[in-house]
Amino acid sequence: MVFVSDVAEPRQDGELPAKVTANTSVSANEQASAHPAAESTADMVVNTLREWYVLASDSIASLLDGRFLQQPARDLWLLGKHYDLTEHTDSATAYPQHVIDDFTRLIWCTYRSQYAPIAQSQFTTDAGWGCMLRAGQTLMAQALQLHALGRDWTFSWTSSDSEQVKRRQLYTKVVGEFFDDYDPRSSFSIQRMAALGQQFEGKDIGEWFGPYGTARILRGLARQANHDVTVYTTTDGVVYLADVCAQEFRPTLILVASMLGIDRVNPVYYAFIQASLMLPQSAGIAGGRPSSALYFAGVQGDELLYLDPHTTRPAVTRTEKEYSQSDLATYSCPTPRRIAMSRLDPCMVFGYYCATLESLVDLRSRIELLADDGVTAIVSFDNGHAPESAIAGSSESSESSESSGSSGSVRASESTGSEPIDSKARADDCRVSTPVLLTKLPNDSDNDDASCNSNTGRPKSESGEIILEGECSDEEWVTDL
């Protein structure tokens, strides 16, 4: 039997994939042994068959695209952090160890099994229907990890140093928010997501979810938990700063749901997808290939690095003891995979985590600079509130009964206490210019006067209004491998 974690990423230079070495991987049976309930034989068979299917389909796509004949790009970006791979010449590994270490620190949410049945159903696993929920969990997990630990955290699992222990506890607390149970600490469990999906989307447990529905669910759960991190959602690409800054600014995860084409992503948006993952505020992208959700964390040339939720692992049982590395081994993945942007489904959610108002200002400046450079930006900023008509027509107003009292479709959670704050004035603060340094993308046009009707600018009508490809609806996702 060949286990899933024994299969390395498909090489991009035409060579067959090599087996992952022991120092970079945890085998499937080792992962399963970290939980009292071992991974079932059926799960292992399904995981293995699907892994080989993905390897085969990726290899065939690479062959048809001619990418086997190309060397991978030497610049890699992972959630805003740049790696120069020019000096990496070891043909036995696709990436140097420090890149693998950084990728492994991403929290990986996958299908789980052997948990208590989800309320009002007999489902004890989300395999086959929960991949977008898991991709959304993974995006949320990176935002919470950035909030708790910052971008470049490290810790030792065995050290007794007080700072190391504190970081370890913060990490396990974040992971624990995605455990598959109804414990109050499991703020974003699959059980809570499925239940809220019934309330917000009218979907029965076991039905598939789309990117925007998943974003709404994450927003609702953050409110229910009165979480330290506020979740803000938008479907038209406009971030209304008076809503984000309605009260004293709180750390905010901005989720922008967009549909960037019909069957595939329109190439006009490639540059923005690349640039988005280069931003220091990036929390990743929840999207996927057609009919199969993925989480994108990095970019290398015209390919994205991703985590795949379609691997079923036994649910981890919550305990009051301190967790070890082996206990949480199934929440990390040491094998980065890549997918060409030409193979992406056009419906996706962009995530940006802003820890401070200054970070929000910086995000706006960087995105507006991209637009000035001719990149088709799908995110824009408005100093006011969302139009009242959009708020009145939104079904999300029903969230108020489960939340901390927001009154609008994209309003941030409101808190009680001090004197009212002039949110419009606070939003105006976001217009402050800040120094921005962003590496220019390969093949970017140097023509700053590029027409907005060309492929280097967002399409506009004769009246000057922006033409969107369309809104992202959950009906676009009708199957889930």
> Which of 13-22, 65-74, 272-281, 442-451 holds the top average pLDDT?
272-281
Q: Is 243 a catalytic residue?
A: no
pLDDT at position 246 is 79
Catalytic residue among 310, 345, 385, 430: 310
Q: With 0-12 CB in 10 A as exposed, 13-18 as middle and 19+ as buried, what is 148?
A: middle
Q: Is 333 a catalytic residue?
A: no
pLDDT at position 55 is 58
Catalytic residue among 43, 181, 308, 345: 308
Q: In the predicted model, what is the mean pLDDT of residues 162-187? A: 95
pLDDT digit string, tens, across residues 201-258: 788 888 888 899 999 999 999 999 999 999 999 989 999 999 998 778 999 999 999 9
Percent above pLDDT 90 for the chain: 51
pLDDT higher for 88 or 174? 174
pLDDT level of residue 122 (50, 70, 90 thresholds):
confident
Q: Is the pLDDT of residue 199 over 90?
A: no
Q: Is 385 a catalytic residue?
A: no
pLDDT at position 409 is 33
Q: Is the pLDDT of residue 77 over 80?
A: yes
Q: In the predicted model, what is the mean pLDDT of residues 393-402? A: 40
pLDDT at position 185 is 95
What is the Cα–Cα distance from 363 to 253, expressed in whole angstroms?
12
Indicate the pTM of the whole model. Answer: 0.74
Q: In the predicted model, what is the mean pLDDT of residues 377-382? A: 94
pLDDT higher for 472 or 103? 103
Residue type, 282: S
Catalytic residue among 109, 131, 347, 472: 131
pLDDT level of residue 73 (50, 70, 90 thresholds):
confident
pLDDT digit string, tens, across residues 316-361: 999 988 898 999 999 999 999 999 999 999 999 999 999 999 999 9
pLDDT at position 41 is 65
